[in-house]
Amino acid sequence: MYQKGDYADEMYFIINGRALYVYGKFNYVFKTMPTGSYFGEIELLDSKPREFGALAEAQMEVFVM
């Protein structure tokens, strides 16, 4: 979905599936976001680059704003 350092211009609402917050060279997972969660708003509101990466765990459905 995005990588650390990317420009934050969107936030995501998970309709179905799970997203993973990852860090480091080997994409270590440190947080899982389940269906019904939203993420990506903090860097968007603060106009900062992405602090961590976010990956889809498997195929997922999201609403992007």
Rounded distance between C-alpha atoms, residue 59 and residue 35, angstroms: 12
Domain hosting 34: range is 18-49
SS3 of 41, please? Answer: helix
6 located within any domain? no
Residues 6+ apart with CB under 8 A from 51: 4, 42, 43
The pLDDT, as a whole number, for residue 29 is: 96
Domain total for the chain?
Answer: 1
Q: Is residue 44 part of a domain?
A: yes
CA distance 2 to 47: 15
Q: Judge whether 2 lies within some domain.
A: no
Q: Considering the domain boundaries, does residue 4 fall inside one?
A: no
Q: Within a domain: residue 41?
A: yes
Residues of the chain with pLDDT under 50: none
| Six token digits for residue 26 | 């080997």
In a domain, 33, yes or no: yes
**In-domain check, residue 34:** yes
Assigned domain for 55 exists: no
